[in-house]
């Protein structure tokens, strides 16, 4: 399942490709047809992310002003939000004309078109998804492939939403209600030094009798953490995932908050979910254990811990795979 950093990368891409302009919207698969018709012709005003939830704000032309902003004084209250949760299998797929470059990992951005006559025959597309083949102005979105729940496009780019767990049109009050049910988000600007957010997380987690490995996957306590960040943040904090929340001190939980903020922000900046500090990565890389260059314990069942050599353990916790080092984590 994409974790919070991946959702933010997708949100940045959608903002860059569509914010401030009108979109043509549809539901090729049909299951979102009624709502897509209400979005069709609207201007995409902004994209918000809270944890793994994405909210795309639309206004009808003429309403509102500015682009890509949804907060701050003088900004209109958006009454039309598209609420998306990708779940385990959902994803966005982008395509576009020569001005749209795909960087992979859900990142695409726009570059100035190559002037006529200077085209060297090579697309700037690094990951080869067929972007950049049509000159700006002549491009048309390709036929949707697979079960596309929602499609929006403008004159340069198209975004297809495939297999989301949740996709609905909601009001501003409904968006607020969804966000109110979510815990603090480590990727929110300033979250690392936000005493209130750290305290909220630490005190809520400390009040629980459940295992800390369950607690940090509970989106109502901390929003955006998934399986990889769970495994490796608990490893770095030295806390066993089976330890009950009430048996971890508030001070250690606050340190865990900072650690999760740092890890997730690093993943967001790097554009991929890798938690390993390059200084600790096995050198040379371990053959047959490529994960050891990317993660500490995630997906490394039975292999030696990079710090102590103890074989990494695996178990199921709430039907998700859990990884930990029984020596480093107590």
Q: Which of 65, 147, 249, 327 binds Zn ion (CB under 5 A)?
A: 327
Give the rounded distance of the alpha carbon of 131 from its chain centre: 22
Catalytic residue status for 3: yes
Bridge partners, residue 83, by sequence = 55, 168
Instruction: Select which of 8, 9, 52, 252 is catalytic.
Output: 52
**Cβ-based nearer residue to Zn ion, 55 or 235:** 235
CB nearer Zn ion, residue 159 or residue 256 = 256
**With contacts defined by CB under 5 A, how many residues of the chain interact with Zn ion?**
7
Instruction: Please provide residue 32's backbone torsions phi and psi, each rounded to the nearest 5 degrees.
Output: -125, 20
Give the shortest CB-253-to-Zn ion separation in angstroms. Answer: 21
Would you call 103 a catalytic residue per the annotation?
no
Q: Is the peptide bond before 284 cis (omega within 30 degrees of 0)?
A: yes
To the query of whether residue 214 is one of the catalytic residues in this protein, the response is: no
List the x/- string, 229-268, binding to Zn ion by CB under 5 A: ----------------------------------------
Give the Cα separation of 114 and 15 in Å (integer): 22
State in angstroms the smallest separation of the CB of 312 from Zn ion.
8
CA 256/CA 40 separation, integer angstroms: 44
Catalytic residue among 3, 98, 188, 255: 3
- Given the rule CB under 5 A, which of 115-123, 128-136, 139-147, 320-328 is the region that contacts Zn ion? 320-328
Q: Considering beta carbons, is residue 139 or 323 the nearer one to Zn ion?
A: 323
Please, what is the end-to-end C-alpha distance for the chain in angstroms? Answer: 27
> What are the b/e assignments for 12-25, b being 16+ CB within 10 Å?
bbbbbbbbeebbeb
Of 103, 110, 320, 326, the catalytic one is 320
Contact range with Zn ion by CB under 5 A, out of 81-89, 167-175, 254-262, 319-327: 319-327
Dihedral (CA of 32, 59, 158, 223) sign: negative
Residue 237 CB, nearest approach to Zn ion (Å): 13
Task: Please identify which residue in the block is written with the tokens 């939830």.
Answer: 53
Q: Answer yes or no whether residue 7 interacts with Zn ion by CB under 5 A.
A: no
Rounded (10°) CA dihedral 266, 271, 275, 281: -110
Q: Please provide the DSSP assignment of 140-196 as one string.
A: -PPPP-S-EEEEEE-SSEEEEEES-SEEEEE-HHHHHHHHHTS---TTSTTGGG-HH
**Site for Zn ion contains 328 (CB under 5 A):** yes
Residue of 2, 28, 141, 164 marked catalytic: 2
Closest residue to Zn ion, based on beta-carbon distance: 305
Q: What part of residues 293-312 is at the interface with Zn ion (CB under 5 A)?
A: 305, 307-308, 310
Rounded to a whole number of angstroms, the minimum distance from the CB of residue 304 to Zn ion is: 8
Nearer to Zn ion by Cβ, of 207 and 308: the residue is 308
User: Contact between 280 and Zn ion (CB under 5 A)?
Assistant: no
Is the separation of the CB atoms in 1 and 87 below 8 Å?
A: yes
Tell me the catalytic residues: 2-3, 52, 320
Instruction: Summarize as ranges the residues that interact with Zn ion (CB under 5 A).
Output: 305, 307-308, 310, 325, 327-328
């Amino acid at each position: 399942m994409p974790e919070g950093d991946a959702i933010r990368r997708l949100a940045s891409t959608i903002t860059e490709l569509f914010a401030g302009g009108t979109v043509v919207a549809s539901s090729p698969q049909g299951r979102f047809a009624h709502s897509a018709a209400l979005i069709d012709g609207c201007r995409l005003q902004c994209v918000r992310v809270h944890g793994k939830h994405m909210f795309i704000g639309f206004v009808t032309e003429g309403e509102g002003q500015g682009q890509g902003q949804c907060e701050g004084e003088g900004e209109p209250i958006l009454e039309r939000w598209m609420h998306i949760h990708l779940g385990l299998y959902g994803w966005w797929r982008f395509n576009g004309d020569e001005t749209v470059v795909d960087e992979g990992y859900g990142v695409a951005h726009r570059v100035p078109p190559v002037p006529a006559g200077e085209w060297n025959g090579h697309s700037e597309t690094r990951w080869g998804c067929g972007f950049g083949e049509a000159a700006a102005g002549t491009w048309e979105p390709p036929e949707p492939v697979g079960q596309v729940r929602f499609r929006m496009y403008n004159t340069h780019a198209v975004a297809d939403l495939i297999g989301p767990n949740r996709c609905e049109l909601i009001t501003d009050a409904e968006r607020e209600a969804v966000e109110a049910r979510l815990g603090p988000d480590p990727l929110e600007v300033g979250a690392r030094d936000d005493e209130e957010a750290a305290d909220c997380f630490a005190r809520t987690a400390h009040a629980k009798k459940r295992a800390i490995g369950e607690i940090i996957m509970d989106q109502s306590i901390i929003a955006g953490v998934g399986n990889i960040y769970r495994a490796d943040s608990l490893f770095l904090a030295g806390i066993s995932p089976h330890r009950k929340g009430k048996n971890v001190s508030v001070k250690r939980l606050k340190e865990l908050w900072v650690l999760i903020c740092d890890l997730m922000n690093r993943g967001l900046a790097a554009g991929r979910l890798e938690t390993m500090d390059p200084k600790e990565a096995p050198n040379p890389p371990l053959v047959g254990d490529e994960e050891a260059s990317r993660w500490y314990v995630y997906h490394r069942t039975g292999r030696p811990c990079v710090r102590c050599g103890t074989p990494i353990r695996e178990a199921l916790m709430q039907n998700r795979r859990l990884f930990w080092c029984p020596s480093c984590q107590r």
